[in-house]
Amino acid sequence: MVLHVYAIDILGFGRSSRPKFDSDAVKAEKQFITSIESWRKAMGLDKFILLGHSFGGFLAASYAIKYPERSVGLRHCPSLLQKARPDLTRKFAGLLPNAEEDIPSYLYHCNAQQPSGETAFHSLMSGFGWAKHPMVHRLDSL
């Protein structure tokens, strides 16, 4: 069995495009989910395991609710960044031939662009990171 792993930037984050998101939380969330579904179709995937950390975990759950026939699993890794970080350049030095240049460049380009996903994230949240449309009230749909 061949296993393929895809690491994608969520629409509006990282080096992905920066569309204008709706300021309504439900509509903005739908835009994210539609972008994941469009990616799935473009990749020709029938079913897949969608893994997400933090906001990505929230979107993974939302996607699984909307498209239960597409998701064969749902994973949320709350400590992924804590474990992967003290020094990203050193962490990836053995995996990437130009890690000393590529990692800082990637981080710069992720943060130097106009905020888009960040703005949409803000419209989905209430207060300090609490979802306006909480997943806890929808998990029974899985």
pLDDT score, position 66? 93
Domain assignment of residue 45, given as a range: 25-85+116-141
Evaluate whether residue 93 is within a structural domain: no
Q: How many domains does the chain have?
A: 1
Evaluate whether residue 62 is within a structural domain: yes
Evaluate whether residue 105 is within a structural domain: no
Q: Tokens 């949409």 label which residue? A: 120
- Cα–Cα distance measured from residue 5 to residue 69, given in angstroms and rounded to the nearest whole number: 20
pTM more than 0.85? no
Evaluate whether residue 48 is within a structural domain: yes
pLDDT digits (tens, 9 = 90+) for 80-98: 333 344 466 777 778 878 7
CA atoms within 13 A on the CB side of 129: 3
- Cα–Cα distance measured from residue 16 to residue 9, given in angstroms and rounded to the nearest whole number: 6
Evaluate whether residue 38 is within a structural domain: yes
pLDDT digits (tens, 9 = 90+) for 4-58: 889 888 999 888 999 999 999 999 999 999 999 999 999 999 988 888 877 888 8
Evaluate whether residue 97 is within a structural domain: no
